[in-house]
């Protein structure tokens, strides 16, 4: 590993962070766009619904007022006092009764009607009741103040009415003495031919209606909704318009151009020509053409004449207004997107910083591991060199060091045989000590050789049948087994394990040798070998009935050169169990014991299961 090379590609990491940030921004932007589309659609649907409702309500206000006034005119025409008046117009009591009835009517409905008058066929007022100046009462006009209305348009247009026929004048501003009354008094008049009096002259009832009440209700309706509401006559002039300055343009000279055709040419074109409607997809137009004459004919009577037939009740949003509203929605959601983007950016910066610190920490750990691995590699090289030195030492110990011992032993043996009779007991005892020490030295070197081999890395593991291992050990120890009159029992079948067969042979050879060595006097040695299969391991037990080991010494016996007994009673080097522990650890297992003094010892070897290799090797011949 190169300690200078980072574990992370920080350029790629940075690009990933940027990509995630852009994806999140795009996701939030997509959500905001979908919300924008939904809100625009919702606004359009809601506005169209409000437009339809406003237009319908505006139509009902217009039709309701005109139909109500028509009912009132017909009601007055059927009064008995009026019939009596037609029969005897000269009788003062009859005229007074008509005057009283009309006064009572105007006084009751002074908010709707401004005047009620009866005229003869020459246009001369016979009776007139006016709404008072305070607009709260009615007043009877005296005979000397009665006027002739023969020159007024509404009388001229209604002069040809037949008995029972009704005429409706234009909805316009009230004009007195050829001037528009200020403040404006929007007015429309109902005229009915009451019939002929006793002299054969026509008599007319005229009801002046206060149109400002209609405009008041239309303005209240417009103020209560979020959509505009206009009312225009058939010529396109506003009666109730977008501004008060645009209204009554056909009567007020300076407002002559304040009509639909001038101010809203595309709207006027759509009202006049159905083929041009919806030409502008952003425009929102809802209108209804209200034919007052037709409606009143349907509701009341066919005997009706009128100077006007149609009103347009309009709710209209231009493309610019719709675009402005859509822009407002867009701006609102765009600011939301900016806030969301700022939040995402802050979160991503925080996340990137934390992740960068994490990566740097991992890099530092990685460099430390690489450094440690390099150090371990150097240590392994040194250990391998040391192992090779140990192997060379083992070779020297097994060959070069044993050679002088063999020479000493040979010459001691030769000297003893040749000069035994010439030596006294003391000299012979000295020669015995030399021979015994030489043998113990040779055994010590031999055990050290085995320990050094056990410390070396084991060979490749192969399948090893433990039954064959114990059969070979029994054959190699047959003389000692016979000498001890020992008995070896197998309490269960022995498994096949994976390992180094040479080392496993050495392991169990040492255990059986110990079991034969540490027998109790005057007791037949019995060694029981058993095996048990566990989930991940094999457990092999070697049990004897020897002298046992005290609990406080049970962990010490695995230390090298550790002997618990006198050498003259139980000879040995104290290396055998250390070799056993090393071999078990080489096989990734563990060795334990269970023992009590004078009750024997049980060695428990646990070896892990491994994947069995097809490559088997008879390690005894290698």
Choose between 129 and 575: higher pLDDT.
129
Res 255 pLDDT > 70: yes
* 501, 464 contact by CB (below 8 A): yes
CA distance 416 to 432: 9
DSSP 107-125: HHTTTTEEEEEEEETTSBE
User: Within a 10 A sphere around the Cβ of 380, how many other Cβ atoms?
Assistant: 12
- Mean pLDDT for 28-42 is 92
Alpha-carbon dihedral angle through residues 444, 446, 448, 453, given to the nearest 10 degrees: -170
pLDDT of residue 281: 74
Which bin fits 486, alpha (ψ -120 to 50), beta or left (φ > 0)? beta
| Neighbouring-strand partners of residue 206 | 117, 191
- Mean pLDDT for 570-578 is 66
Range name among 112-126, 342-356, 365-379, 388-402 with the lowest pLDDT average: 388-402
The predicted-structure confidence for 81-92, as pLDDT tens digits, reads as follows: 999 999 998 899
Portion of the chain with pLDDT greater than 70, in percent: 85
Res 45 pLDDT > 80: yes
Range name among 17-31, 78-92, 280-294, 451-465 with the lowest pLDDT average: 451-465
Tokens (6 digits) for 423:
């030596």
The predicted-structure confidence for 433-477, as pLDDT tens digits, reads as follows: 677 677 666 666 666 666 666 655 566 788 888 888 888 888 888
Beta-carbon contacts of residue 621 (< 8 Å; ≥ 6 apart): none
| Neighbouring-strand partners of residue 120 | 203
CA distance 130 to 113: 9
Tokens (6 digits) for 397:
């110990």
Res 416 pLDDT > 60: yes
pLDDT of residue 617: 44
- Mean pLDDT for 176-200 is 89
Choose between 148 and 273: higher pLDDT.
148
pLDDT of residue 533: 84
pLDDT band at 396 (very low <50, low <70, confident <90, very high): low
* 368, 360 contact by CB (below 8 A): no
Tokens (6 digits) for 50:
């409000």
- φ/ψ of 149, rounded to 5, equals -110, 20
pLDDT of residue 615: 42
Portion of the chain with pLDDT greater than 90, in percent: 31
The predicted-structure confidence for 106-123, as pLDDT tens digits, reads as follows: 988 888 899 999 999 999
pLDDT of residue 454: 60
pLDDT of residue 561: 54
Q: Report the mean per-residue pLDDT for the chain.
A: 83
- Mean pLDDT for 158-162 is 89
The predicted-structure confidence for 493-546, as pLDDT tens digits, reads as follows: 888 888 888 888 888 888 888 888 878 777 788 888 898 888 888 888 888 888
pLDDT of residue 447: 62
Res 330 pLDDT > 80: yes
- Mean pLDDT for 282-300 is 82
The predicted-structure confidence for 599-611, as pLDDT tens digits, reads as follows: 888 888 888 876 5
CA distance 512 to 352: 65
The helix/strand/coil state of 59 is helix
Q: With b meaning 16 or more CB within 10 Å and e meaning fewer, what string describes 230-250? A: bbbbeebbbbbbbeeebbbbb
Pairing relationship of beta strands 487-490 and 526-533 according to DSSP bridges: parallel
Long-range contacts of 73-77 (CB under 8 A, 24+ apart): 73/166, 73/190, 73/192, 73/205, 73/207, 74/166, 74/192, 74/300, 74/301, 76/101, 76/102, 76/105, 76/116, 76/192, 76/205, 76/207, 77/164, 77/192, 77/194, 77/205
CA distance 147 to 128: 9
Rg of the chain in Å (alpha carbons)? 64
Beta-carbon contacts of residue 58 (< 8 Å; ≥ 6 apart): 218, 221, 229, 231, 288, 313
pLDDT of residue 105: 93
Q: Alpha carbon of 207 to those of 68, 129, 192, 607: distances in Å?
A: 12, 10, 9, 122
- Measured at the alpha carbon of residue 38, what is the angle toward residues 34 and 42, in degrees to the nearest 5? 170
Nearest to 541 by CA among 603, 487, 499, 588: 603
Res 350 pLDDT > 50: yes
What are the E-state strand segments in 186-321?
186-196, 202-210, 230-233, 238-240, 284-291, 304-306, 310-317
pLDDT of residue 541: 87
Pairing relationship of beta strands 138-140 and 125-131 according to DSSP bridges: antiparallel
pLDDT band at 621 (very low <50, low <70, confident <90, very high): very low
Choose between 180 and 414: higher pLDDT.
180
């Amino acid at each position: 590993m190169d300690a200078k090379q980072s574990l992370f590609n920080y350029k790629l990491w940075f690009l990933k962070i940027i990509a995630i940030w852009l994806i999140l921004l795009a996701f939030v932007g997509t959500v905001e766009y979908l919300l924008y589309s939904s809100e625009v659609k919702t606004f359009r649907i809601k506005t169209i619904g409000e437009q339809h409702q406003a237009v319908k309500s505006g139509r009902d206000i217009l039709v309701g007022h005109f139909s109500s006034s028509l009912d009132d005119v017909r009601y007055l025409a059927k009064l008995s006092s009026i019939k009596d008046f037609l029969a005897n117009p000269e009788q003062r009591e009859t005229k007074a009764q008509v005057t009283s009835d009309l006064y009572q009517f105007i006084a009751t409905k002074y908010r709707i009607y401004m005047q009620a008058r009866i005229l003869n066929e020459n246009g001369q007022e016979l009776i007139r009741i006016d709404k008072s100046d305070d607009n709260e009462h009615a007043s009877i006009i005296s005979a000397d103040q009665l006027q002739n209305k023969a020159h007024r348009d509404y009388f001229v247009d209604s002069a040809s009415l037949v008995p029972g026929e009704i005429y409706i004048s234009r909805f316009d501003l009230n004009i007195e003495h050829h001037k528009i009354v200020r403040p404006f008094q929007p007015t429309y008049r109902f005229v009915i031919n009451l019939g002929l009096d006793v002299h054969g002259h026509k008599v007319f009832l005229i009801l002046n209606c206060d149109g400002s009440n209609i405009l008041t209700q239309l303005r209240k309706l417009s103020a209560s909704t979020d959509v505009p509401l206009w009312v225009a006559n058939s010529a396109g002039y506003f009666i109730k318009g977008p501004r008060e300055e645009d209204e009554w343009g056909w009567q007020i000279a300076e407002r002559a151009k304040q009509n639909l055709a001038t101010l809203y040419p595309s709207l006027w074109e759509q009202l006049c020509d159905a083929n041009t409607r919806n030409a502008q997809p952003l425009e929102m137009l809802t209108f209804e053409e209200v034919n007052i004459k037709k409606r009143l004919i349907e509701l009341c009577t066919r005997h009706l004449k009128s100077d006007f037939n149609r009103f347009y009740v309009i709710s209209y949003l231009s493309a610019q207004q719709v675009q402005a509203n859509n822009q407002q929605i867009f701006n609102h959601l765009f600011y939301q997107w900016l806030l969301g983007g700022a939040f995402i950016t802050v979160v991503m910066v925080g996340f990137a910083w934390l992740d960068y610190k994490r990566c740097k920490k991992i890099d530092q750990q990685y460099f430390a591991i690489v450094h440690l691995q390099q150090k371990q590699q150097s240590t392994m090289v040194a250990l391998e060199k040391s192992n090779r030195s140990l192997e060379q030492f083992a070779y020297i110990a097994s060959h070069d060091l044993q050679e002088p011992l063999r020479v000493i032993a040979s010459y001691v043996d030769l000297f003893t045989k040749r000069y035994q009779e010439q030596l006294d007991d003391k000299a012979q005892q000295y020669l015995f000590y030399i021979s015994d020490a030489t043998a113990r030295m040779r055994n010590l070197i031999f055990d050290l050789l085995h320990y050094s081999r056990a410390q070396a890395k084991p060979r490749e593991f192969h399948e090893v049948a433990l039954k064959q291992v114990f059969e070979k050990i029994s054959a190699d120890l047959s003389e000692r087994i016979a000498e001890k009159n020992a008995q070896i029992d197998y309490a269960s079948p022995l498994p096949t394990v994976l390992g180094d067969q040479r080392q496993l042979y050495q392991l169990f050879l040492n255990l059986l040798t110990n079991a034969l060595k540490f027998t109790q006097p005057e007791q037949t040695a019995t060694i029981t070998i058993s095996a048990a299969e566990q989930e991940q391991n094999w457990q092999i037990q070697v049990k004897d009935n020897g002298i046992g080991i005290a609990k406080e010494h049970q962990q010490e016996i695995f230390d090298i050169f550790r002997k618990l007994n006198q050498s003259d009673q139980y000879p040995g080097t104290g290396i055998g169990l250390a070799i056993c522990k090393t071999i078990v650890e080489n096989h990734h297992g563990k060795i334990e014991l269970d023992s009590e003094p004078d009750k024997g010892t049980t060695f428990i070897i646990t070896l892990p299961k491994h994947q069995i290799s097809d490559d088997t090797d008879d390690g005894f011949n290698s």
